[in-house]
Amino acid sequence: MRLSLIFLSVALSLSQFAVASPNEAAENAAMAAQPYEESPKGTDGGNAGGPPGNGGGRGGDDNDNDRRRPGPGGSRGDDGNDRDDHSGPRPGHGGHRGGGKKDDDDGHGGRHLGHGGHRHHHHHDVCEQALEHLQTVYELRLGYDRMYATNHTEIIELAMNKKWTIPKAGGSFKVFSKQIKGTIPITRHYNPKTRRHTLAATEAQRNELNAKGFLPDGDLGFMFPTSICNTQPVEQFWLGSMYTPKVYPGGRTYPQYTPVNNFVFKMDPTEILQARRSQYRSQGIIGYGYPLTTQPKPRPVQVITTRPDCREVFKYLTPVYEVMLAGKQNWLYTTSHTRVIELLNARPRATIKAKDGVFKILSKQVEGSVSVCRMVNPTIKDHTLALGDDQKESLLAQGYFNDGVLGYMLPNRFCNSERVARLYSAAAKNHVFKLDQTEAALLIHRNRYKDEGTLAYAFSMRAAQPEPETPKPY
Residue 207 lies in a domain: yes
Whether the CB-CB separation of 74 and 52 falls below 8 Å is answered with yes
Predicted local confidence at residue 304, as pLDDT: 56
Residue 335 lies in a domain: yes
Whether the CB-CB separation of 294 and 337 falls below 8 Å is answered with no
**269 contact partners, CB below 8 Å, separation of at least 6:** none
Whether residue 42 is predicted with pLDDT greater than 70 in this model: the reply is no
Q: What residues are paired with 146 via a beta bridge?
A: 141
Residue 270 lies in a domain: yes
- The rounded distance, in Å, linking the Cα atoms of 452 and 391 is 13
Report, as an integer, the average pLDDT of 368-376: 94
Whether 136 and 174 map to the same domain: the answer is yes
Whether 104 and 132 map to the same domain: the answer is no
Residue 297 lies in a domain: no
Whether 330 and 350 map to the same domain: the answer is yes
Q: In the 3-class helix/strand/coil scheme, how is the chain assigned residue by residue?
A: CHHHHHHHHHHHHHHCCCCCCHHHHHHHHHHHHCCCEECCCCCCCCCCCCCCCECCCCCCCCCCCCCEECCCCCCCCCCCCCCCCCCCCCCCCCCCCCCCCCCCCCCCCCCCECCCCCCCHHHHHHHHHHHHCEEEEEEEEECCEEEEECCHHHHHHHHHHCCCECCCCCCCEEEECCCCCCCEEEEEEEECCCCEEEEECCHHHHHHHHHCCCEEEEEEEEEECCCCCCCEEEEEEEEEEEECCEECCCCCEECCEEEEEEEEEECCHHHHHHHHHCCCEEEEEEEEEECCCCCCCCCCCCCCCCCCCHHHHHHCEEEEEEEEECCCCEEEEECCHHHHHHHHHHCCCCEECCCCCCEEEECCCCCCCEEEEEEEECCCCEEEEEEHHHHHHHHHHCCCEEEEEEEEEECCCCCCCEEEEEEEECCCCEEEEECCHHHHHHHHHHCCCEEEEEEEEEECCCCCCCCCCCCCCC
Whether residue 151 is predicted with pLDDT greater than 70 in this model: the reply is yes
Whether 151 and 266 map to the same domain: the answer is yes
Residues 325-343 have pLDDT tens digits of 865 668 899 999 999 998 8
Higher pLDDT, 15 or 145: 145
- The rounded distance, in Å, linking the Cα atoms of 334 and 19 is 109
Residues 379-412 have pLDDT tens digits of 888 999 999 999 999 999 899 999 999 999 999 9
Whether 47 and 185 map to the same domain: the answer is no
- How many domains does the structure of the chain reveal? 3
Residue 73 lies in a domain: yes
pLDDT band at 71 (very low <50, low <70, confident <90, very high): low
Q: How many CB atoms lie within 10 A of CB 327?
A: 9
- The rounded distance, in Å, linking the Cα atoms of 105 and 97 is 15
Point out the domain boundary residue: 100, 119, 138: 119
Whether 243 and 155 map to the same domain: the answer is yes
Residue 266 lies in a domain: yes
Q: What residues are paired with 387 via a beta bridge?
A: 372
Residues 93-117 have pLDDT tens digits of 444 444 444 444 443 444 444 444 4
Predicted local confidence at residue 258, as pLDDT: 82
Report, as an integer, the average pLDDT of 225-230: 93
Residue 406 lies in a domain: yes
Whether the CB-CB separation of 429 and 329 falls below 8 Å is answered with no
Strand-pair category, 232-243 with 257-266:
antiparallel
Lowest-pLDDT choice from 10-24, 119-133, 459-473: 10-24
Burial of 140 per CB tally in 10 Å (0-12, 13-18, 19+): buried
Whether 66 and 213 map to the same domain: the answer is no
Domain span at residue 147? 126-289
Whole-prediction pTM value? 0.68
Point out the domain boundary residue: 119, 145, 174: 119
Whether residue 366 is predicted with pLDDT greater than 70 in this model: the reply is yes
Q: Edge to edge, what strands does the sheet with 450-458 contain? A: 430-434, 418-425, 450-458
Whether 441 and 327 map to the same domain: the answer is yes
- The rounded distance, in Å, linking the Cα atoms of 329 and 382 is 9
Look over the chain and give the mean of its residue pLDDT values, rounded to a whole number. Answer: 78
Whether 181 and 265 map to the same domain: the answer is yes
pLDDT band at 196 (very low <50, low <70, confident <90, very high): very high
Q: How many residues does the chain have?
A: 474
Whether 2 and 143 map to the same domain: the answer is no
Whether 51 and 7 map to the same domain: the answer is yes
Residues 417-456 have pLDDT tens digits of 999 999 999 988 899 999 999 999 999 998 889 999 999 9
pLDDT band at 45 (very low <50, low <70, confident <90, very high): very low
Point out the domain boundary residue: 56, 86, 119: 119
Whether 229 and 259 map to the same domain: the answer is yes
Predicted local confidence at residue 26, as pLDDT: 53
Residues 312-329 have pLDDT tens digits of 999 999 999 999 886 566
